[in-house]
């Protein structure tokens, strides 16, 4: 696996967010503009994942969460879903050694166990092999939907309250956060969406309550280390008041 050096323009002087999440959008439009099949856009998108994950590590981002497959993506054509699953298999098999070598912890959020058994086993093995790494965290959202995540967390808290383990009237925001898929991750600082669309699409709705949102026109396959550096520089110019003055 080639590990080309990150461009010299990547380091930025602005404050670096601890946790960045990216809605990777635009693969299909990238392919259409080039008169290519949609799967070609997804393949190019995987290369963008490699570039951006390496750049994020170089810039000191502690956690990078990538929206790879939403719970709504099952509505896409069966052959496209199959191609996405194949690319996920390829990414894990080809990049796992680099994640281990770079001390990256891999974490998956979402109901990925709905996938084929061999893919589930591959994901479980990858997480197990990086579990003791102490460096940056790469989070992949697979079959993830924020509303479903919140419903599941609410049900678990309700069950505990019904069993007398906790007082329902005393449930706090911290209790809810502890039940989310993202528990123990750094607070979400920055959400980036590529391709010019300006919505969260059921992604990290609770976690994004005070995150900075940045929508860029760049299609995901064209997203580079420099694009990420520009986004982080823009983040560094924001004033985060959290409701205060």
Which of the residues are catalytic? 25, 73
- Whether 206 has a binding-site annotation, put simply, is no
| Alpha-carbon span 134 to 55, nearest angstrom | 18
- Whether 70 has a binding-site annotation, put simply, is yes
- Whether 28 has a binding-site annotation, put simply, is yes
Q: How far is CA 157 from CA 45, 55, 151, 164, 202, in A?
A: 38, 38, 10, 11, 21
Strand partners, 67: 23, 141
**Taking a C-beta distance cutoff of 8 angstroms, is the pair 78, 39 a contact?**
no
- Whether 94 has a binding-site annotation, put simply, is no
Taking CB atoms within 8 Å and a gap of at least 24, the contacts of 8-11 are 9/225, 9/226, 9/229, 10/55, 10/58, 10/59, 10/225, 10/226, 10/228, 10/229, 11/58, 11/59, 11/229
- Whether 200 has a binding-site annotation, put simply, is yes
- Whether 201 has a binding-site annotation, put simply, is yes
- Whether 193 has a binding-site annotation, put simply, is yes
Strand partners, 70: 144
Residues tagged in the binding site annotation: 25-30, 38, 42, 70-72, 74, 76, 193, 199-201, 212
Residues tagged in the binding site annotation for Mg(2+): 25, 212
Residues tagged in the binding site annotation for substrate: 26-30, 38, 42, 70-72, 74, 76, 193, 199-201
């Amino acid at each position: 696996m080639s590990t080309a050096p990150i461009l010299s323009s990547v380091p930025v002087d602005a404050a670096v967010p601890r946790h960045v999440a990216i809605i990777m959008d635009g693969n299909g439009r990238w392919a259409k503009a080039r008169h290519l099949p949609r799967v070609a856009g997804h393949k190019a998108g995987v290369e963008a994942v490699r570039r951006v994950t390496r750049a994020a590590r170089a810039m000191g981002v502690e956690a990078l969460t990538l929206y790879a497959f939403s719970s709504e993506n099952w509505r896409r054509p069966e052959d496209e879903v199959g191609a996405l699953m194949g690319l996920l298999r390829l990414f894990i098999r080809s990049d796992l050694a680099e994640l281990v070598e770079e001390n990256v912890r891999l974490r998956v959020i979402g109901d990925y166990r709905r996938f084929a058994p061999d893919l589930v086993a591959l994901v479980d093995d990858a997480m197990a092999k990086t579990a003791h790494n102490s460096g940056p965290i790469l989070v992949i959202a697979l079959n993830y939907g924020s509303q479903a995540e919140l419903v599941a967390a609410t049900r678990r808290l309700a069950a505990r309250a019904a069993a007398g383990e906790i007082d329902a009237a005393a449930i706090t925001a911290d209790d809810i956060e502890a039940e989310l898929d993202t528990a123990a991750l750094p607070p979400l600082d920055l959400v980036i969406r590529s391709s010019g669309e300006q919505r969260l699409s059921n992604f990290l709705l609770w976690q994004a309550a005070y995150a900075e949102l940045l929508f860029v026109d760049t299609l995901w396959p064209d997203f580079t280390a420099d694009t990420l550096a520009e986004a982080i520089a823009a983040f560094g110019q924001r004033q985060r008041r959290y409701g205060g003055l």
